[in-house]
Structures are given as structure tokens and as C-alpha cells.
Amino acid sequence: MNTALIYLFASLHIADGALTYLGLQLYGLAEANPLLSGLAAEVGLGTAIIGGKSLETVLAYRLYKRRVIFKKHPSLVATLALAVLFYTGVVINNAWLVFDAPPVAASVSNEI
């Protein structure tokens, strides 16, 4: 159960990163996370998303490697389950925004 939650947590972060990139790069949506938008302004969108999601995935892996701690602290399982539930909502919302949004049209020149 704990291992499945950790894998799901990491998978949701990867899906969130992919959908965020699609939404911002291809569909012109705005980023709601001020940390990500600030970092993207400094290092670029792809680098910011890959860096942030890599960090989150590494943290999930470290949780996986230390999953024995969940047996000693059951409240951590509840916290992780709530985080999975939250990110499930985030991914569903992002998917809805991305797949419902029309693509940004390529710039059209008014010259004849």
C-alpha cells in the first residue's frame, strides 16, 4: 500500500509536469504557481519544470527507500494519501485545461 502511494505520488508529479509544459508552451495558459513562474523566467520553462519535478520525484524515491518509517508513523501514510489525492485533482484540472483549450495560433503576418 505504501509503495503504491509513493509510485502514484511520483507518477502524478510527472503527469503534472508534462501537462504544465503543454499548457504553458502550446496553449498559452498562465502558470498559477509563483515559484515555478519565477524560476521559469530565470532558467526557462522546460528547465524549471524538469528541475522541479525531478526534485519531487527524487524525494518520492527517498520516501520509497525509507518506507520502513511508515510503519512507525502511520500519520505519514495519511499525509501521503492526502498529497496523492490533492495531486490527482491537480492533474485532472490541468488535463481539463489543456485538452479543453484551443491551441495558440501561429503568428500571422498582415503583410501581403
pLDDT at 105: 53
Q: What percent of the chain has pLDDT over 90?
A: 24
User: What's the confidence (pLDDT) of residue 107?
Assistant: 44
CA 80 to chain centre: 16
Asked if pLDDT for residue 1 goes beyond 70, the answer is no
Give the tens place of pLDDT for each residue, 42-82: 999 999 999 988 888 888 778 777 766 667 777 878 888 89
- Encode 76-101 in three state secondary structure: HHHHHHHHHHHHHHHHHHHHHHHHHC
pLDDT surpasses 90 at 88:
yes
* Alpha helix ranges (H) inside 30-73: 34-43, 45-65, 69-72
The angle formed by the CA atoms of residues 27, 96 and 99, to the nearest 5 degrees, is: 45
Please, what is the average pLDDT of the chain?
A: 82
In terms of Cβ atoms closer than 10 Å to its own Cβ (0-12, 13-18, 19+), residue 21 is: middle
109 pLDDT higher than 60:
no
Spell out the domain ranges in the chain. 2-100
